[in-house]
A and B are shown apart, each in its own frame.
Chain A
Amino acid sequence: MSEVPYKPEELLINTFAGLLDGVGHVAVGALSPIPGCAALLAQELAKQKGRDVQVSIIHGDANNPFTDGGRELFDCAGQGRIGAFFLGGAQIDGEANINLLGVGEYPDLKKRFPGSFGSAYVYFVIPKVILFAPEHSARVLVEKVDFISAPGTSPPNVHRPGGPKALVTGKCCMTFDAAAKRFTLVSVHPGVTVEEVRDNTGFDFDLINDVGTTLEPDGERLALLRGAIGPKIAKTYPDFAARVFGQG
């Protein structure tokens, strides 16, 4: 156990920030407070090592450097100017196909979700896409998605500099191997077992030899999160900042 109690969100933020190490420009889409905090934390950690990281949060005007309208994020990504991005999915399958659109056979959906947003493009052009599934269940992590908003992999003739590199859920962290089209479990969050992950995952996945426990944020990291990142993210997500960091 970490010496300072922390919230589940703080573990996820810390985990994502670790995955962003070395990325020069992190963009974060709408409705993504946890990835937004992770990007700002990664920026802060890089600053301590004397490196600059650009963080672009597409939700409101704070932390948002874009001035050329909704297209600019995508144009910027298409040029290769964005290194990492986060995507969720109402369904994610074992080949990293993601579905943000609905359950059932299109167009006669049993359950409709908002839609594919920009996923059908950014999943191809941003080198490090990190998948996020807060609810780790066989309902979300399915064998085969009902609708492919964006495919996990592409044939070699398709221009695809980007794609999924990792999946972080409420229970574990996995990496994705595009050549093998498979996820590999690398760590389980504190208190979670490998069996529990298997029981709640609808697809088959590999394991690294020694599946460890996801690194917990230490006191220094938590102080940084609550002291420096909280006030910054409060400009974009005041409710989230108040709930998780007690400020806003």
Chain B
Amino acid sequence: MTTFENLDTLARRIGDGQLLALAPDYSWVPMALVRALIRRKVLGKVKNLHLLTVPIGGLAADMLIGAGAVGTLEAAAVSLGEAGLAPRFTDAVEAGTLHMRDSTCPAIHTALQASEKGVPFMPLSGLIGSDLVKYRDDWKVVDDPLGAGGGPVVLLPAIKPDVALFHSPRADVHGNVWIGRRRELATMAHASASALVTVEAVEDRNFLEDEETAAGTLGAMYVTAIATAEKGAWPQGLTGLYERDTDHIRAYAEQAKTAEGFADYLKAHVLNEPGDEDGA
């Protein structure tokens, strides 16, 4: 059964060393939950996360890295998009304080699909000759095992995250979550042991009883817990409801170029929100 709770209890479900799958900035990223998680990191309640961006990271990943919450990062790229390089990510890699598992977009999608299907690995074409393959000791190049003349292929082990995290405009009271055309959110949730979702609002209806909403819905069986977080994707946008706050993101890109500037950003925009002082 999906439970309905608040942002802090949702964040409390995330433990040290867990593998988190995070929605990308353009696809309903749960920024309010990320801020709650950073408040827990500051309280010393969570550390050494293994973050998987699906497939690329942005502001949320950069903030978690800057806060020191991430030990290992698997990503196809991390960037603030039009606002430029992700400054805390770039610094952490150049300083050697972040363990990187560099990947490529379709490899992340494919490894999650393997987990969705319950198979231990899946093949992907391309990739051969990329230095990504050279440095990924968990990827394996084999000759077409069916002998059909396909040449060498890369086998990718299934990725099974402990938790999938994303935001959505709406859930229904039964725990079904609307994802619209953002199907990577379904893949993430299917592949993960649990899914923690924030929503703008919970509606008193059943999305699965209406064909028009059913097709864009992630069923409650995949959803562990839901919390309401209004403007929960801010400063990123949410389809049809609010636009990305470009000025804010550009200001972050500038301010977070130094560790001190990033600390000031956290004080002003993360640690100022109600905290989880006596949380477990």
Contacts and interface: CB of A to CB of B under 8 A. Distances in A.
Contacts of B76: 115-118
Contacts of A121: 104-107, 124-127
Contacts of A49: none
Interface string A157-182: 11100000000000000000000000
Given A108-B96, A125-B126, A117 B77 contact: yes
A34 to B, nearest CB: 13
A115 B102 contact: yes
B102 A116 contact: yes
Interface in B222-239: 239
A147 B131 contact: yes
Contacts of A117: 56, 76-77, 104-105
Given A68-B183, A69-B186, A70-B54, A113 B106 contact: no
A78 interface: yes
Q: Is the interface of B mostly helix, strand, loop or mixed?
A: mixed
B27 A31 contact: no
B106 A149 contact: no
A61 interface: yes
A72 to B, nearest CB: 8
Contacts of B2: none
A7 interface: no
A50 interface: no
B41 interface: no
B234 to A, nearest CB: 17
A191 interface: no
B20 interface: no
B44 interface: no
Contacts of A100: 77
B129 A148 contact: yes
Nearest to A121: B126
Interface residues of B, number: 53
Interface in A200-221: none
Contacts of B128: 154, 158
A233 to B, nearest CB: 14
Interface string B144-170: 000000111100000000000000000
A241 B125 CA distance: 37
Contacts of B103: 115-116
B126 A123 contact: yes
Interface string B19-56: 00000101100000000000000000000000000111
Nearest to B54: A70
Nearest to A59: B26
A109 B129 contact: no
Interface in B146-204: 150-153, 181-187
Interface size class of A (residues with CB under 8 A): 35 or more
A69 to B, nearest CB: 3
B93 interface: yes
Contacts of B182: 69
B93 A112 contact: yes
A60 interface: yes
B104 A116 contact: yes
Contacts of A106: 131, 135
A154 B184 contact: no
Nearest to A102: B93
A35 to B, nearest CB: 15
A217 to B, nearest CB: 25
Nearest to B243: A238
Interface in A89-112: 100-102, 106-112
Interface in A121-146: 121-125
Interface centre among A120, A123, A147 (most CB of B within 10 A): A120
Interface of B: 24, 26-27, 54-56, 75-79, 81-82, 85-86, 89-90, 93-94, 96, 100, 102-107, 109-110, 113, 124-132, 135, 150-153, 181-187, 239, 246
Given A107-B135, A114-B85, 8 more contacts: A69-B186, A114-B79, A116-B102, A117-B77, A118-B76, A118-B105, A121-B106, A122-B126
11 contacts: A60-B26, A71-B187, A114-B79, A114-B85, A115-B76, A115-B78, A115-B79, A123-B126, A124-B127, A149-B104, A157-B151
